[in-house]
Amino acid sequence: MSNFLIPVHDLMHKPGHMREVETDIDLSEPLGVGLAKVNKGQVIKLDLRLESVHEGIYVSGGLKTKAEAECSRCLDPFSVPIQVDIQELFAYSLEVEDDFVIQAEQIDLEQVIVDSVVLNLPFTPICDANCLGLCPDCGAKLNENPDHVHEAPIDSRWSELKKLVEESED
């Protein structure tokens, strides 16, 4: 049995009835790929309101969890709080192919939660708006040493003169 299933027998075909659900879901698989993802075993806290309407069960509310990310500038790991609002109708019968349907007097929130969380993960996470990132020449962390500089490269047109200077020093 999936941890995303919520029984709705008490609400079916009773327009106007409502129930609030607060629950935690432990992820058995990670959500997201790339620089930010919600790891396996992370808890998603759901605070939902289930309302019976003529067409089915209307689910509204929110979820909270925490994603682990890697800064796209300095590559340091950090946590990103994720808070998403959910509004979805679970229909009694399938009218449109994209509809969510009540099956066996239960609603399956897995796809709704996965879509909501993954779409709210940062594409290029940044640990701090003032993050300086890495030195493009040597990879030093500029947050730790903001005064980090390199010698300016010598223009290749002057390379023959540099050879003359080196020969005269020998």
- Measure the CA dihedral 66/71/72/74, to 10°: 180
Tokens of 108: 């399956």
pTM of the model: 0.74
pLDDT at residue 98, rounded to an integer: 67
CA 140 – CA 149 distance, rounded (Å):
10
142-166: b or e for each residue (b if 16 or more CB lie within 10 Å)? Answer: bbeeeeeeeeeeeeeeeeeeeeeee
pLDDT at residue 143, rounded to an integer: 86
pLDDT at residue 83, rounded to an integer: 95
Asked if 41 contacts 31 with a C-beta cutoff of 8 angstroms, the reply is no
Calculate the alpha carbon distances from 78 to 48, 58, 68, 71, 159 in Å: 28, 35, 6, 7, 45
What amino acid is encoded at 132 in this protein?
L
Asked if 122 contacts 69 with a C-beta cutoff of 8 angstroms, the reply is yes
Contacting residues for 7 by C-beta, under 8 A, at least 6 apart: 105, 106
Tokens of 24: 């935690």
Tens-digit pLDDT string for the chain (170 aa) = 477 889 898 888 888 899 999 999 998 889 988 889 999 999 999 999 999 998 889 999 999 999 999 999 999 999 999 999 999 999 888 776 667 888 888 999 999 999 999 999 999 999 999 999 998 888 888 888 888 888 777 777 877 888 888 888 86
